[in-house]
Amino acid sequence: MLLARELGKIYAAIDQSVALALSHAEHKPVCQKGCEHCCRQPIPLSQPEAFALFEYVRFALAPEIKAKLLQNYLSQQDAQAPGAPCPLLLNGSCQAYQLRPIACRRFMVGRMACGEHEDPAATRPEDLIIPARSALNDCLLGLSGIYEKHYRLFGMAQAPEFRSPVERIAWIKTNTAIIQAYNWQSFFEVRRKD
Ligand code: SF4
């Protein structure tokens, strides 16, 4: 769980920025367990975050949960179709909540719950509770450091080189896919003892 430990510092900083945003928010968030509409949006996921989730799924998730996730995953015709659920969603709850990615940690809606297929960023952006952009940028810089340190893990021949923080952040964004686009099947199939 190497990457999970390194990402832990980044996630803690994001959670801190979320707590600060909540302390100033006009509305309290209505997000709660069982409300899964945001988990059916395209969720940006960097490779370090994906690897940490793969490790978690492979080594820490209970076999019976993995079996159910695999069943759901295989039952979908197109895992990337609009409205397709995140592969880690089960019965309205995230099966990797402690390790959920930055995008999930920062997403909060106030006033009223999202409707089915609603993207509140488009329909009512004023209800979004948005943590400071500077905190997000700091975390993206941290992510770029993980790419530099573990570049081989991400299939790179050499560590990426950056000339400025702006370049780092832009690079992270272009090297991020959506969570639904990763191939989860082999990780759900692996048994705990493997
Ligand atoms: S990682 Fe968890 S919180 Fe994020 S979209 Fe998937 S199920 Fe939802």
pLDDT tens per residue across all 194 residues of the chain: 778 889 999 999 999 999 999 999 988 899 998 899 999 999 999 999 999 999 999 999 999 999 999 999 999 989 999 999 999 999 999 999 999 999 999 999 999 999 988 999 999 999 999 999 999 999 999 999 999 999 999 999 999 999 999 999 999 999 999 999 999 998 998 664 54
Decide if 193 is inside a domain.
no
pTM value? Answer: 0.92
Decide if 44 is inside a domain.
yes
Decide if 150 is inside a domain.
yes
| 96: containing domain | 2-188
Using CB atoms within 10 Å of the CB of residue 32, give its burial: 0 to 12 exposed, 13 to 18 middle, 19+ buried.
exposed
Whether residue 102 has its Cβ less than 6 Å from ligand 1: no
Looking at the 3D structure of the chain, how many domains does it have? 1
Atom 5 of ligand 1, residue of closest alpha carbon: 39
Taking the C-alpha atoms of residue 18 and residue 130, their distance in angstroms, rounded to an integer, is 8
Decide if 194 is inside a domain.
no
Whether residue 94 has its Cβ less than 6 Å from ligand 1: yes
Whether residue 88 has its Cβ less than 6 Å from ligand 1: yes
